[in-house]
A and B are shown apart, each in its own frame.
Chain A
């Protein structure tokens, strides 16, 4: 391109006498053309290349930023999830130990209740046996009482039948009639 430009410049340039520019080797016409060409280049770049480039860069930047953000968020979420899991686990452990504690309490209570029951039963057996003995003694007492009554009545019958005379009978009757009056 620059060859093209210089070619044009070379082709179109009038011959000039030597000046400062010539002394320095600067061809000001070429320079202007180059400047124009540069400006055109910059304009073209700015119009077509630069926006596309910037867009790509921006997109890339956005992507990177998004990825970064997602990464941060994922990290946070992971941290939260871990915290929640930890919390749940702790709660589950607490619950489990409570259940175990309750179960232990219940079994202890049942054991103690069984012991009490057994003790009570033993005491009851003793009391029942005692009361059975008492009942038997009472029954024996009653039987003895009745038998003695029977013997007393029998003996009295035998004796009275021989002892009572008409005179005694008369006085017995007189006494009972007096008692009635």
Chain B
């Protein structure tokens, strides 16, 4: 528990006074000629470098900015604080460094802004290391192909669009389709399955009430201890929204470079692009398509390239990215969505129609893809998911015929009924990620017809009953499945028997 200590207070003050004695000498200075809309135009500082940090002496203290426009006669610097404190005539100094943020395990469990300043009121953060906000991605030789699974706990994803450590998988959909919910469940699953993966959630222009709810939820699920939240609200300057994903990535890279695994969630990059557009227009850069600057692709490509699986020589750590993009009216062919789709290694597309039909997560099996695929899938899940994907694709083809129930041949009917059961199976409540054994057992039961006599509306109940039975009576099977290895025939037989018994209880309902 924190204590109010006079000795500590005195020590801080003495340290501050001691630092004052140090004279900098003749420093290179410039002067603010005009300021507005978060941009300060500075005269002088001819030695300033691109993206170098500048310190503006405002009456209330130092306001930092970074130089983005180095022009012949002046520098356009984007303020990292509010421009209300800065006025023309203020002296500007070079800090002498590029933009850095504190990085390290000390940040775990904390909510910070893109400059690493704590927002949760839980005291200052003292880290041993700092990381560059803008940094080059690892080269080709420093990488290894993605081969380890990152289990999201969401059956539909782990079965059909598996994500691997080091992969970039885009989550894309309209507003209120469950994009953030998918990301949160993935984070919860890392804690539940004790994978050791560190979560870094970057909230770009999200309502602070939403961030607060997220923090509460993560604390309730016991995930917050392995999570860092970098939060910016719509009220923050566009410069902070622009920096947020890069700062978050710097924090994630610390773990990647130290033989650990981290998961980045950027929520969402659409707001990031909008903030960058705002900054660029205020810096008088020429607008391109949809008024975005010409380098908006580079904005996201250099960010996402930093997510990678490192080679064994570099420690075999990984940084996985789940960027989120919000579409308008399901248009995935718009400018920013197509940009990010072409950068990432696959996408999970969420459809509004499916959401309102009650299919949640509302994942479109037809439009979603994972380019890494089976290489990053757990063997246990892989062994049972082949039929699932096939069954669903057949159902999709025949779905429009479902209304002609009595006029169809038996084989078509059975495919439709199987598809309905699979669709029901893949529904999953929020904040309840499924472990490997739960997924394997459930998928095996449905794809092998063991629940064919269970009414589709009772599939979830039957699934719950099966899992309860297995966890109570067959802990050996549960343990065997949890290893992730391909299940043996004996294990499958046990699951089959249990499923048959359970199905009997639901017959005729």
Chain A residues proximal to chain B, CB less than 8 Å: 95, 98-99, 102, 105-106, 109, 120-121, 124, 128, 130-131, 133-135, 137-141, 144-145, 148-149, 152, 176, 179-180
Contact with A along B116-140 (1 / 0, CB 8 A): 0000111100000000000000000
Task: Identify 11 new A-B residue pairs, CB closer than 8 A, beyond the known A106-B465, A134-B1, A141-B9.
Answer: A98-B501, A102-B469, A106-B464, A120-B220, A137-B4, A138-B123, A141-B4, A144-B9, A149-B13, A179-B25, A180-B26
Asked if B9 contacts A152 (CB within 8 A), the reply is no
Which one, B13, B121, B465, contacts A145 given CB within 8 A? B13
Docked complex Cα distance between A121 and B120 (Å): 21
Docked complex Cα distance between A130 and B8 (Å): 21
Docked complex Cα distance between A133 and B122 (Å): 10
Docked complex Cα distance between A81 and B303 (Å): 75
Docked complex Cα distance between A152 and B121 (Å): 26
Which one, A124, A130, A134, A148, contacts B220 given CB within 8 A? A124
Asked if B468 contacts A140 (CB within 8 A), the reply is no
Decide: A105 near B469, CB < 8 A? Known: A134-B122, A141-B9.
yes
Contact with A along B89-133 (1 / 0, CB 8 A): 000000000000000000000000000000011110000000000
Within 8 A of A (CB), among B1-60: 1-4, 8-9, 12-13, 16-17, 23, 25-26
Note all chain B residues with C-beta closer than 8 A to A99: 504-505
Q: How big is the B interface, by class?
A: 20 to 34
Asked if B1 contacts A102 (CB within 8 A), the reply is no
Note all chain B residues with C-beta closer than 8 A to A134: 1-2, 122-123
Docked complex Cα distance between A148 and B12 (Å): 11
Chain B residues proximal to chain A, CB less than 8 Å: 1-4, 8-9, 12-13, 16-17, 23, 25-26, 120-123, 219-220, 464-465, 468-469, 471-472, 501-502, 504-505
Note all chain A residues with C-beta closer than 8 A to B1: 130, 133-134, 137
Taking chain A's interface residues, is the majority helix, strand, or loop, or is none over half, making it mixed? helix
Asked if A139 contacts B468 (CB within 8 A), the reply is no
Note all chain B residues with C-beta closer than 8 A to A152: 13, 17
Note all chain B residues with C-beta closer than 8 A to A133: 1-2
Taking chain B's interface residues, is the majority helix, strand, or loop, or is none over half, making it mixed? helix
Decide: A105 near B122, CB < 8 A? Known: A124-B219, A145-B9, A145-B12.
no
11 intermolecular pairs with C-beta atoms under 8 Å apart: A98-B505, A106-B468, A120-B220, A130-B1, A135-B121, A135-B123, A137-B4, A141-B4, A144-B4, A144-B9, A179-B23
**Which residue of chain B has the shortest Cβ distance to A152 in the bound complex?**
B13
Note all chain A residues with C-beta closer than 8 A to B504: 95, 99
**Which residue of chain A has the shortest Cβ distance to B17 in the bound complex?**
A152
Asked if B25 contacts A180 (CB within 8 A), the reply is yes
Note all chain B residues with C-beta closer than 8 A to A145: 9, 12-13
Docked complex Cα distance between A145 and B121 (Å): 16
Decide: A137 near B25, CB < 8 A? Known: A99-B505, A106-B468, A145-B13.
no
Asked if B9 contacts A95 (CB within 8 A), the reply is no
* Chain A proximity of B271: nearest CB distance (Å): 29
Decide: A131 near B501, CB < 8 A? Known: A105-B468, A106-B468.
no
Docked complex Cα distance between A157 and B2 (Å): 34
* Chain B proximity of A142: nearest CB distance (Å): 9
Asked if A138 contacts B2 (CB within 8 A), the reply is yes
Scoring B1, B2, B3, B9 by chain A CB atoms within 10 A of each residue's CB, the highest score goes to: B2
**Which residue of chain B has the shortest Cβ distance to A121 in the bound complex?**
B220
